[in-house]
A and B are shown apart, each in its own frame.
Chain A
Amino acid sequence: MSDTDLKATPGNGQPPADEASAERLTSAPVESEAPTGIGVFGWLRWTWRQLTSMRVALILLFLLSVAAIPGSLIPQTAENAFQVQTWQAAHKDLTPIYQKLQLFNVYSSVWFSAIYILLFVSLAGCIIPRTWQFVGVLRAKPPAAPANLTRMPVYAAWHTDADPATAVAAAQRLLRRRRFRVHGSGSAVAGEKGYLREVGNLLFHLSLFALLAGFAWASLASGTGGKLVIEGDGYTNTLTQMDDFNGSAFYGPNDLDPFGFHLDNFTATYQLTGDQMGQPRTFDANVHYWTGSDPTRTKGGVISVNHPLEIGGSKVFLIGHGYAPVITVKDGSGKVVYHDAVPFLPQDPNLTSTGVVKVGDYGQKDGKKVQLGFSGFFLPTAPDSFGPTTGPRSLFPGDANPAMVLTAYEGDLGTDSGVPQNIYQLDLSHLTQLQQDGQPARTKLTPGQGWTLPDGYGSISFDGYKQWASFSVSHRPGNTVALTGAMLAILGLIGSLLVQRRRIWVRAVTTPDGRTLVELAGLARSESAKIAEELADLAVDLQDDAPALDEPEEPEETDASGASAEPDEPDGPSESAAPDTPADATPSAPETKE
């Protein structure tokens, strides 16, 4: 519960002004009820006040959490474009509606952005004024004791023979020792402590901006590219070498950090036994890398899953791996028309992989220009025979029993049409499958084996295989800003949530009967029960200098505390408070003294 409202129960009249300011323990905005002033300006001001109010912040926060949900249930383009296509194919009727609502791009959609932008506007409108206000608080003295201390939530009083000045001086000393900020004025002392709460709260909210700034910077100045590299091949960080590249306003193809690396080999190990057989255990890409433009001065390194390689302003992450069978194709005359390692893409955890071979330079057959295409599977651990329905399936991701299954096509690959093609797929529109005995020609090969194609098309041989690894090359500034923001946010939160801001007042006055009345009152957020203990401790210490007197009868003042508590709590059954106050509030008066 906010301190502001400890006593501010409307209904039985507002507390006196001195209490209102004394009780304000936060610079949180005071909720405004209705438009103030008239005309457009008044309404504008009202709207702004509403937008920057806690209530609207609360609603916006809530909206933000609700708005984040659809993105976790519907596939997202940014995360997995392929999944989105599959989903869209399966839900033809819903797709247009979802597209209109930007449900495939929730986190960059207009409505999601609107919520968080409004939230940050609201945050700015709330936090910046609060910061100035708080600076003001730090400059000012702790608010003076309100006239009626009994109205404070925590209260203690006793009579003493010591004179008021001694008691006040002692209180001031004790409060200082407890590291309160203290301000004495005549018969009273005001002390305040726990400013770190407010500091923490402001720090937390402000560092959300640092976080945002970090993200904004990153989205304006970062770029990510992907590259699949086969063992033995190299990579230079230029656009032409990348499989794909996503740049941003300030990081385009010309800004790529100059470096390169050579993939010496890739090793993967897998669980060999038990339930989790086949689960990967380690992936390591061994590389030699260089920065700048001189590829001869290299250093060795390993890129593995939790250990990206940092080179020249970029990071290289290992994100995937697979096999690349080495294939040779000969034409009918025995001339080699194709020889390469072809990366096949894994389809399941056991690395059943699919891929295609496009032989664009086959040349002529029967006086006609011909191209050949092959599509098939690579199985690192092939079963002895395939079931008719399941198709080729690998049993294990390691290369225990590698084999390939291939079918062949002839015709026009479509590679010369100028339209960019997916290198992992055959465009079947101008291809015909080779037949053997009236069936599509198909074969299973183990490394070293070859296959003579039907109709004199020549032969294909499976010479062996290499592994490939795919990397993501990412240049992303702004991380430090975001990270610093995040760390400060946590620090701020700790201060904000674990520190209690609290005030204690001590007043000593001479009563008409010549004794001194010492009164202590405390105020904290109601989450803190500690204030009572703190006050009690202080009071006990204070009694060294201002010992309590035996009370011959109920002191008037304590009685008043019970009575005056009532008007503040109009909704409580107040009759319970009044009658038994004197007895309970100051129990066992006779045994009070030493």
Chain B
Amino acid sequence: MILAIGVNTQLSGLSDKLIYSAMFVYALAMFAHMFEWTFGSKGGVARRSAEQASLAAAAAQVSVTEQVRAAKEAKAAKKVTVTVASADGGTTTLTRTALAGEGAIVVTSGRGEEREIDGPGAAGTSEKGDLAGRIAISLTILGFACNFGGVLLRGLSVMRFPWGNMYEFSCAFGVTMIGTYLLLLALGKPVRWMGLPAVVAATLTLGLATTVLYTADEQLVPALHSYWLGIHVTTAIICGGAFYAAFASTALYLGREAYDKRLAAGLPGGPFRTSASVWERLPATATLDKLSYRINALVFPLWTFTIIAGAIWAESAWGKYWEWDPKETWSFITWVVYACYLHARATAGWRGRKAGYLALLAFACFLFNYYGVNIFITGKHSYAGVG
């Protein structure tokens, strides 16, 4: 990489091209996901009478292969049926079976309220939809590779962590947002529904980055010459990506919850005049809620660390740990609202919907801290390279 210093304009030019390509590919993925949702609504779970069957199919789809294997080996397997009561006010029990020697846990059946069961996903039962979804995921992976490459080359072109201004944060933010989603997908979590929100956000973020926030590759002001840049800002960006995933999950949880309520009250369609079929294809409220809680809970300690690292850095750069600079203040506010959310989940009368609103509010604070404070409020942190 010694050479890289010499050719930095070439590298950064390439980096810019990669970021543009990433944006373009994410946009394509977005269209593919839109097709997936559209096809899904036609081919899929149009009527409740058909639901039972399709849900069973969906449940089976989760682990078709294992089930086939399970059936074959059932004779030789030790099999245990575990009844799980859903604690979310529902009455569902899921049955899980453990196969000896396989280590595989297979969901064999669900019963009772359909609403407790995860929907079939964006594509519904449509094969075309499924194909579109698969294409979308492939495109997302390609976009991610470009995005990652763009950030990496930017870093190589300046030989420092490539997050010294808002353009650079935004590109890195794209990486962590899509990265979180792809990671969840790779871990086998049922998050295909997250594809659309993820690529929409990534496209917008990169779009904003390349148009409004673009900053040429340069070295940094002295305050940023610190390894704390690597620590504090890196964790902040990772938190951002993960908080976004949790946000998407919470928002859809609230939507699906509203839909379920409408359904119970006999009202047609989803909230805000959305089509019922969208909500039916999403995972159950309990699943979405759990996912958002898990992500938030996982990220909260990291966010705490980010703030503490920021304070340590502030001390070495400005001589004071904490000065209630707007950026510090809003990080603190974000932290407290996330703590509120975690408390709400442990407090009777607040879990569920109300806690969900708190999670949305917390993410709004995070976003405001990122865009609002950098652009509208001047403080010591105003080296973001805008305005």
Interface string of A49-89 (1 = CB under 8 A from B): 00000110110011011001101110010110000000000
Name 8 extra pairs, CB < 8 A, besides A57-B343, A305-B223: A54-B346, A65-B332, A72-B329, A79-B323, A479-B315, A527-B293, A532-B84, A591-B74
Asked if A526 is at the interface (CB within 8 A of a chain B CB), the reply is: yes
Contact indicator B84/A306 (Cβ below 8 Å): no
Asked if B47 is at the interface (CB within 8 A of a chain A CB), the reply is: no
Q: Which of A6, A106, A483, A577 gathers the greatest number of chain B CB atoms within 10 Å?
A: A577
Given contacts A58-B344, A69-B333, A569-B90, contact A155 B100 (CB under 8 A): no
- What separation, in Å, do the CA atoms of A73 and B350 have in the docked complex? 30
Q: What 9 pairs between A and B have smallest CB-CB spacing?
A: A317-B319, A572-B91, A536-B98, A539-B80, A526-B87, A305-B222, A65-B336, A306-B226, A72-B329
Contact indicator B336/A68 (Cβ below 8 Å): yes
- What separation, in Å, do the CA atoms of A569 and B113 have in the docked complex? 13
B contact residues around A490 at 8 Å (CB): 301, 304-305, 308
B contact residues around A558 at 8 Å (CB): 83
Q: Which of B78, B324, B325, B385 gathers the greatest number of chain A CB atoms within 10 Å?
A: B78
Interface string of A533-572 (1 = CB under 8 A from B): 1011101100110011000000000100110011011011
Contact indicator A154/B319 (Cβ below 8 Å): no
Asked if B109 is at the interface (CB within 8 A of a chain A CB), the reply is: yes
Q: Which residues of chain B from 40 to 81 have any CB-CB distance to chain A below 8 Å in the complex?
A: 74-76, 78-81
Q: Which residues of B contact A (CB under 8 A)?
A: 74-76, 78-85, 87-91, 93-100, 105, 108-109, 111-113, 215-216, 218-223, 225-226, 228, 290, 293-294, 297-298, 300-301, 304-305, 308, 311-313, 315-321, 323-326, 329-330, 332-333, 336-337, 339-340, 342-351, 365, 373, 377, 385
Contact indicator A281/B89 (Cβ below 8 Å): no
Contact of A585 (CB < 8 Å), options: B95, B300, B326, B346 = B95
Chain A: minimal CB distance from B212 (Å)? 14
- What separation, in Å, do the CA atoms of A472 and B342 have in the docked complex? 39
Asked if A390 is at the interface (CB within 8 A of a chain B CB), the reply is: no
Q: Which residue of A lies closest to B294 (CB)?
A: A527
B contact residues around A561 at 8 Å (CB): 83
B contact residues around A238 at 8 Å (CB): none
Given contacts A78-B323, A274-B216, A586-B81, contact A594 B339 (CB under 8 A): no
Q: Which residues of chain A from 272 to 310 have any CB-CB distance to chain B below 8 Å in the complex?
A: 274-276, 279-283, 304-308
- What separation, in Å, do the CA atoms of A493 and B299 have in the docked complex? 10
Interface string of A566-594 (1 = CB under 8 A from B): 10110111101100100011111001101
Contact indicator B91/A65 (Cβ below 8 Å): no
Asked if A497 is at the interface (CB within 8 A of a chain B CB), the reply is: yes
Contact indicator A72/B377 (Cβ below 8 Å): yes
- What separation, in Å, do the CA atoms of A547 and B100 have in the docked complex? 12
Given contacts A6-B87, A529-B290, A540-B78, contact A76 B336 (CB under 8 A): no
Contact indicator A62/B105 (Cβ below 8 Å): no
Contact indicator A276/B218 (Cβ below 8 Å): yes
Contact indicator A276/B215 (Cβ below 8 Å): yes
Asked if A31 is at the interface (CB within 8 A of a chain B CB), the reply is: yes
Chain B: minimal CB distance from A531 (Å)? 8
| Interchain residue pairs with CB less than 8 A apart (18) | A62-B337, A72-B373, A155-B85, A271-B218, A317-B318, A486-B308, A527-B293, A532-B82, A547-B78, A558-B83, A562-B93, A569-B89, A572-B89, A572-B90, A572-B91, A574-B91, A586-B81, A591-B75
Q: Which of A69, A304, A527, A566 gathers the greatest number of chain B CB atoms within 10 Å?
A: A527
Q: Which residues of chain A from 403 to 451 have any CB-CB distance to chain B below 8 Å in the complex?
A: none
Contact indicator A493/B300 (Cβ below 8 Å): yes
- What separation, in Å, do the CA atoms of A24 and B333 have in the docked complex? 32
B contact residues around A28 at 8 Å (CB): 346
Contact indicator B333/A65 (Cβ below 8 Å): yes
- What separation, in Å, do the CA atoms of A474 and B105 have in the docked complex? 60
- What separation, in Å, do the CA atoms of A307 and B223 have in the docked complex? 10
- What separation, in Å, do the CA atoms of A532 and B74 have in the docked complex? 20
A contact residues around B351 at 8 Å (CB): 1-2
**Contact size range, A:** 35 or more
Q: Which residue of B lies closest to A282 (CB)?
A: B222
B contact residues around A544 at 8 Å (CB): 78
Given contacts A307-B316, A536-B98, A585-B93, contact A576 B346 (CB under 8 A): no
Contact indicator B290/A527 (Cβ below 8 Å): yes
Q: Which residue of B lies closest to A70 (CB)?
A: B329
- What separation, in Å, do the CA atoms of A345 and B113 have in the docked complex? 72
Asked if A494 is at the interface (CB within 8 A of a chain B CB), the reply is: yes
- What separation, in Å, do the CA atoms of A566 and B112 have in the docked complex? 12
Asked if A107 is at the interface (CB within 8 A of a chain B CB), the reply is: yes
Contact indicator B98/A537 (Cβ below 8 Å): yes
Contact indicator B97/A536 (Cβ below 8 Å): yes
A contact residues around B108 at 8 Å (CB): 587
B contact residues around A474 at 8 Å (CB): 319-320
B contact residues around A562 at 8 Å (CB): 83, 93
Asked if A315 is at the interface (CB within 8 A of a chain B CB), the reply is: yes
Asked if A498 is at the interface (CB within 8 A of a chain B CB), the reply is: yes
Contact indicator A281/B220 (Cβ below 8 Å): yes
Contact of B105 (CB < 8 Å), options: A271, A536, A592 = A536
Contact indicator B319/A62 (Cβ below 8 Å): no
B contact residues around A5 at 8 Å (CB): 348
A contact residues around B89 at 8 Å (CB): 569, 571-572
A contact residues around B94 at 8 Å (CB): 532
Chain B: minimal CB distance from A62 (Å)? 5
Q: Which residue of B lies closest to A201 (CB)?
A: B346
Contact indicator B337/A306 (Cβ below 8 Å): no
Asked if A259 is at the interface (CB within 8 A of a chain B CB), the reply is: no
Contact indicator B79/A592 (Cβ below 8 Å): yes
Contact indicator A79/B301 (Cβ below 8 Å): no
- What separation, in Å, do the CA atoms of A55 and B348 have in the docked complex? 8
B contact residues around A72 at 8 Å (CB): 324, 326, 329-330, 333, 373, 377
Chain B: minimal CB distance from A82 (Å)? 13
Contact indicator A54/B343 (Cβ below 8 Å): yes
Given contacts A65-B337, A494-B301, A594-B76, contact A280 B221 (CB under 8 A): yes
B contact residues around A55 at 8 Å (CB): 347-350
Contact indicator B225/A282 (Cβ below 8 Å): yes
Contact of A573 (CB < 8 Å), options: B111, B113, B300 = B113
- What separation, in Å, do the CA atoms of A173 and B226 have in the docked complex? 53
Given contacts A279-B221, A281-B219, A539-B80, contact A71 B324 (CB under 8 A): yes
Contact of A61 (CB < 8 Å), options: B84, B91, B343 = B343
Contact indicator A68/B93 (Cβ below 8 Å): no
Contact indicator B91/A585 (Cβ below 8 Å): no
B contact residues around A2 at 8 Å (CB): 345-348, 351
- What separation, in Å, do the CA atoms of A87 and B223 have in the docked complex? 27
Q: Which residues of chain A from 308 to 357 have any CB-CB distance to chain B below 8 Å in the complex?
A: 308, 315, 317, 319
B contact residues around A308 at 8 Å (CB): 316, 319
Q: Which residue of B lies closest to A577 (CB)?
A: B91
Q: Which residue of B lies closest to A580 (CB)?
A: B111
A contact residues around B345 at 8 Å (CB): 1-2
B contact residues around A306 at 8 Å (CB): 222-223, 225-226, 228, 313, 316-317
Chain B: minimal CB distance from A324 (Å)? 20
Contact indicator A565/B82 (Cβ below 8 Å): no
Q: Which residue of A lies closest to B330 (CB)?
A: A72
Contact indicator A585/B81 (Cβ below 8 Å): yes
Contact indicator B219/A271 (Cβ below 8 Å): yes
Given contacts A533-B96, A587-B109, contact A79 B218 (CB under 8 A): no
Contact indicator B88/A526 (Cβ below 8 Å): yes
A contact residues around B315 at 8 Å (CB): 479
Contact indicator B350/A65 (Cβ below 8 Å): no
A contact residues around B83 at 8 Å (CB): 154-156, 558, 561-562, 585
- What separation, in Å, do the CA atoms of A529 and B88 have in the docked complex? 13
- What separation, in Å, do the CA atoms of A452 and B377 have in the docked complex? 47
- What separation, in Å, do the CA atoms of A223 and B69 have in the docked complex? 72
Contact indicator B319/A319 (Cβ below 8 Å): yes
Contact of B85 (CB < 8 Å), options: A61, A472, A565, A588 = A565
Q: Which residue of B lies closest to A284 (CB)?
A: B222
Chain B: minimal CB distance from A350 (Å)? 14
